[in-house]
Amino acid sequence: MSSEIRLAFAHPSERSEATADAGTLDRISLRDHIVEVEIGAFQAERGVTQRICFNVVVEVQPLTGPIDDDVDRILSYDKVTEAIATELADERLNLLETLAERVAERILLEPQAMRAFVRIEKLDRGPGALGVEIVRARGQGATERNAAQETLRPELVFLSNAAISSPHLNGWIDQLATLGRPLIFCVGAPGAPAPQVPHLMAQRRIDLLAIEQNAWVLAARDDRCVVVATRTELDWAMRNGQSCVWAPSKIVLDAVDGPSAQPSDAVALAAWFAATFDAGEMLVIGQEGQVASSVPLRHVSAESAVLDL
């Protein structure tokens, strides 16, 4: 067996040693760290957990001076397991590649870390282990993600069906644009009832898709409103001054700690979404009524031409 093939299947620590440059780096490793999570792109992988195994090696700068048995002077193993736990808790992911990338980026935020080797394997998807292994160096890939996380906080606006069809719609968008903040519009389902089925998960998807139909209705009313479905699209839109209409299916279904609100309670669902941005408030146009929300709601009548911003 060639050395390249042997290294491909060896533990990441051997790959680290074989690819090290002339500079001497220390290594810490995490071996066979197994957790049960919901992950995967296939429908059969939704709603169930499976075992995934992490093997991680981090190359770190050697310490100068004595360690003095001081845990604060070293890169603790806890930082590696915390990076894994944090990324698993952030959102439900489809790809091991995405998870490996994010774990490596988070580890490389530690000042001592120079390179990270991350191997992740699914243990329950076949007779063997199915996995991916990546290596990332400090400064490689983390900058763009950090920039996305520093995006301006958006203005969240819920539009009722009356507001979507209102002759004031374009004028409201003109007024909101003067705020200088990214705009994200949320809508509920259209007036026509969605199909009803006895399966709860199937019904949830149907109801979310009904909301997305209405999102496209709004997009047709004003070309500035672009329907988006992922946080990546939202981050890009907010950085580039594009107004968005939220298509909720992917974000809701992929959320690790998803909303308790049902799609039929569209304002509460939008308020949950607003809370994920730590929004200061959400403007609700054309729909009254109290909603349990951690984000303050400000109501405006669909008959009002002026939003009093």
Structure tokens at 232: 């990546």
| Nearest by Cα to 184 from 166, 158, 223 | 158
| Nearest by Cα to 273 from 231, 241, 226, 219 | 231
Chain segment 29-54, per-residue pLDDT in tens: 999 999 999 999 888 888 899 999 99
Structure tokens at 100: 């490996």
Chain segment 258-303, per-residue pLDDT in tens: 888 889 899 999 999 999 888 888 999 999 877 888 888 999 999 9
Reply yes or no on whether the pLDDT at 122 is more than 90: yes
Quote the Cα angle for 185-187-192, to 5°.
155
Structure tokens at 284: 């609700």
Residues 166-170, mean pLDDT to the nearest whole number: 96
Reply yes or no on whether the pLDDT at 112 is more than 50: yes
Locus of tokens 């007779």:
127
Reply yes or no on whether the pLDDT at 104 is more than 50: yes
| Nearest by Cα to 189 from 158, 149, 156, 161 | 161
pTM: 0.70
Q: Are 269 and 253 in contact (CB under 8 A)?
A: no
What confidence category does residue 148 fall into, taking pLDDT thresholds of 50, 70 and 90?
Answer: very low
CA dist 204 and 159 (Å) reads: 21
